[in-house]
Structure 1
Amino acid sequence: MAELNHTIVWARDRAASAEFLAGVLGLSVGAETAPFLPVVLGNGVSLDFAQVGESDAVAAQHYAFLVSDAEFDAALERLTASGTTIYADPMHRTRGINGMFGGRGFYFDDPDGHNMELLTKAG
Structure 2
Amino acid sequence: MSVQLNHTIVFCRDNRKSAAFLADILGLEVGPEWGPFVPVSTTNGVTLDFAVLPDGPIAAQHYAFLVSEAEFDTAFEKIRSAGITHFADPHGKRPGEINHNDGGRGVYFPDPDGHGMEIITRPYGG
What is the distance in 1 between the residues matched to 2:121 and 2:104? 5
The corresponding residue for 2:80 is 80
Q: Which residue of 1 aligns with 2:20?
A: 19
Structure 1 position 51, deviation (Å): 0.3
Indicate the residue corresponding to 1:114 in structure 2.
115
AA at the equivalent of 1:11? C
Corresponding letter in the other structure for 1:119: I
Q: CA RMSD in A?
A: 1.0
TM-score, with structure 1 as normaliser: 0.95
Name the SS for the 1:24 alignment partner: helix
**1:23 match: secondary structure:** helix
Cα distance in 2 for partners of 1:28, 1:100 equals 28
Give distance in 2, aligned partners of 1:101 and 1:114. Answer: 24
Structure 2 residue runs of 5 or longer lacking an equivalent are none
**Counterpart-to-counterpart distance in 2, 1:121 and 1:91:** 20
- Structure 1 outlier segments of 4+, above 3 Å: none
Per-residue Cα deviation, 1:30-54 (whole angstroms, up to 9, x for no partner): 001111000000101000000001x
Percent of pairs with identical residues: 55
Q: Distance in 2 between matches of 1:17 and 1:81?
A: 18
Whole-Å separation in 1 of the counterparts to 2:86 and 2:117: 10
Gaps of 5+ in 1: none
| 1:102 CA displacement | 2.2
Provide the rounded CA distance (Å) in 1 between the counterparts of 2:37 and 2:119.
23
